[in-house]
Amino acid sequence: MEARTAELLRLRQAVRSGPGAHATEAQHARGKMTVYERMELLFDEGTFVEIEGLRRHRAVGFGLEDRRPHTDGVVIGWGRIHGRTVFAFGHDFRIFGGSLGESHAEKIHKIMDMAEAAGAPLVSLNDGAGARIQEGVSALAGYGGIFRRNVRASGVIPQISVMLGPCAGGATYSPALTDFVFMVRGISQMFITGPDVVEAVTGERVTQEELGGADLHAAVSGAAAFAYDDEASCLEDVRYLISLLPANNRELPPAAEPAVDLGTPDEDLLRLVPADPNQPYDMREVIARLVDDGEVLEVHERWAPNLLCVLARIDGQTVGVVANQPRHLAGVLDIEASQKGASFIQICDAFNIPLVTLVDVPGFLPGTDQESGGIIRHGAKMLYAYCNATVPRVQVILRKAYGGAYIVMDSRSIGCDLSYAWPTNEIAVMGAEGAVNVIHRRAVAAADDPEAARRELTEEYKEALMHPYYAAERGLVDDVIDPRTTRAVLAEALRVLRTKQEQLVPRKHGNPPM
């Protein structure tokens, strides 16, 4: 028995070592960790449990029968992150380049099924070369099984994709189906067709980074929610994200220690937000004053920067904050901002995360590019997501809220539970100057002094329809609050709404704009 046990220990050590020291050195030379090093960083120390580590492929031909390494290029198992169970799989690039064959896929299917059955998050550490060509259609079918499970688990358990190597062709669709995608600059890429194919078809020469690197997907395509300079900081934020999320859609997010300073008025909020509706400011600074310890995890920080989507805590409870950013395009809604907001709202709603919406929006971005690009269809995505959300929803209008964009930013009319406004709010169909140009165009043109007449009529319009209490008088705002008390007001509103229960009309599914 001792001899057999010693043999088993040697075998397990050999499995962790991969094909040999040269393969590990080559992985490190690329600036990448091995899959086991990544698992150690992802999970609490000493908690990772691997299963099917001795699995081998059954394929024959093309030299595969002589190369049957253990794990078949993918490591699966579970561990704990901040004490909570999380499942994971990770490609081992040292074995067949992490490519997916039949046995490889079956291992992934198994761990995905286990995660769904256990009601626990699933993290994928992606570092593979795509389908294993030598195994033909069996490899392709393996991807189909992964995609089907991604969709089945969508909105049931959090699914997080961490890109730590190449991802090409059909393999890119699994990360695209998950809730959050992390990338690391210089080592991870995602593209449907590689640089060689692009050059052959279009004549365009591009590098892998230019075609599908972390910066492109984080800032341009929106395919990546987060981008980092190194694996360690990337995996640390994966751990932080999981600490903010529930294990599944039947649980509430884990709570932290409640805040103790909620009753203290925050004078800085008066300084941060100018009264002039045309003067820009950084909404991130406002959010930092409203959430616990100023700690936030911003989703899609560099994509569609005119809308901020942030996970944080208020009074110890996880919240999702959606906010216009006046520093970029004056905080307007456009195609990309609508897509970004809709996706974030749906994720928060799926995982029981209350929504706080901070409004300072001049409208939708005008222009032929926006209209021909489908701003109506894409703007409807965000509207649909809010209307469909059943989690607690609180709106705060800081300054301007004009037109259809006011409605879309979780107004009372589309179902927010509580709406508050600062005394600097301006809620109207459009700005006063634009309204006067429409309503009083002829009167202004006929006046002896058109500019003076325009100014007088503009002030009259503001006093009649845009004063700070107009919406509150009509029940469209629940209260006009002292900005300094916003944090305490939000905490109390979320406390009261914590037990909210709302049932949608029974249906197979809605038909959201695509």
3-class SS letters over 425-458 = CEEECCCHHHHHHHHCHHHHHHCCCHHHHHHHHH
In angstroms, what CA-CA distances link 320 with 4, 248, 454?
A: 53, 16, 42
Percent of the chain with pLDDT over 70: 97
Residues 59 and 179 in one domain: yes
What pLDDT score was predicted for residue 62? 62
SS3 readout for 299-325: ECCCCCCCEEEEEEEECCEEEEEEEEC
Q: Does residue 503 fall inside a structural domain?
A: no
Lowest mean per-residue pLDDT among 178-182, 188-192, 199-203, 379-383: 199-203
Q: Does residue 256 fall inside a structural domain?
A: no
Q: Does residue 394 fall inside a structural domain?
A: yes
pLDDT bucket at 189, cuts 50 / 70 / 90: very high
Mean pLDDT of the chain: 91
pLDDT bucket at 61, cuts 50 / 70 / 90: low
Which neighbouring-strand residues pair with 74?
Answer: 91
Which neighbouring-strand residues pair with 123?
Answer: 88, 160
In angstroms, what CA-CA distances link 275 with 213, 464, 468?
A: 41, 19, 12
**Which secondary structure element, helix H or strand E, spans residue 479, and what is its range?**
strand 479-480
What pLDDT score was predicted for residue 462? 73
Residues 116 and 226 in one domain: yes
Give burial (CB, 10 Å; 0-12/13-18/19+) of 499. exposed
Domain with 319 in it: 268-428+469-497
What pLDDT score was predicted for residue 122? 98
User: Which of 481, 463, 462, 460 is closest to 472 using CA atoms?
Assistant: 481
Residues 279 and 352 in one domain: yes
Q: Does residue 316 fall inside a structural domain?
A: yes
Indicate whether 60 pLDDT > 80.
no
Residues 373 and 410 in one domain: yes
Region 449-478: mean pLDDT is 80
Q: Last residue of a domain, which of 209, 244, 279?
A: 244
In angstroms, what CA-CA distances link 40 with 49, 72, 80, 186, 492?
A: 11, 20, 11, 22, 40
Would you say the C-alpha torsion 230, 92, 108, 81 has a positive or negative sign?
negative
Indicate whether 261 pLDDT > 80.
no
Residues 404 and 385 in one domain: yes
Greater confidence, 107 or 506?
107
What contacts 294, CB < 8 A, 6 or more positions away? 288
What pLDDT score was predicted for residue 404? 93
Q: Does residue 254 fall inside a structural domain?
A: no
SS3 119: coil
Amino acid at 444: V
Indicate whether 472 pLDDT > 80.
yes
Query: Is the model's pTM score more than 0.85?
Result: yes
Buried-exposed string 40-62: b where 16+ CB fall within 10 A, e elsewhere: bbbbeeebbebebeebebebeee
What pLDDT score was predicted for residue 100? 85
Residues 281 and 210 in one domain: no
Q: Does residue 142 fall inside a structural domain?
A: yes
Buried-exposed string 387-423: b where 16+ CB fall within 10 A, e elsewhere: bbbebbbbbbbbbbbbbebbebbbbbebebbbbbbbe
Residues 378 and 410 in one domain: yes
The most confident of 50-59, 80-89, 194-203, 434-443, by mean pLDDT: 80-89
What pLDDT score was predicted for residue 59? 66
Residues 314 and 422 in one domain: yes
Task: Give tens-digit pLDDT for 146-174.
Answer: 999 999 999 999 999 999 998 888 789 99
Residues 418 and 436 in one domain: no
Q: Does residue 507 fall inside a structural domain?
A: no
What pLDDT score was predicted for residue 225? 98
Distance CA(354)–CA(54), nearest Å, equals: 44
Indicate whether 193 pLDDT > 70.
yes
What contacts 400, CB < 8 A, 6 or more positions away? 277, 360, 361, 362, 425, 426, 427, 431
What pLDDT score was predicted for residue 28? 93
Residues 420 and 292 in one domain: yes
Task: Give tens-digit pLDDT for 368-384.
Answer: 999 999 999 999 999 99
Task: Give tens-digit pLDDT for 41-55.
Answer: 999 999 999 999 878
What pLDDT score was predicted for residue 68? 66
What pLDDT score was predicted for residue 491? 96
Residues 106 and 222 in one domain: yes
Greater confidence, 195 or 340?
340
Give catalytic residue positions: 169-170, 404-405
Assess contact for 231 and 127: CB atoms under 8 A.
no
Residues 205 and 135 in one domain: yes
Number of domains, the chain: 3
What contacts 437, CB < 8 A, 6 or more positions away? 444, 454
pLDDT bucket at 67, cuts 50 / 70 / 90: low
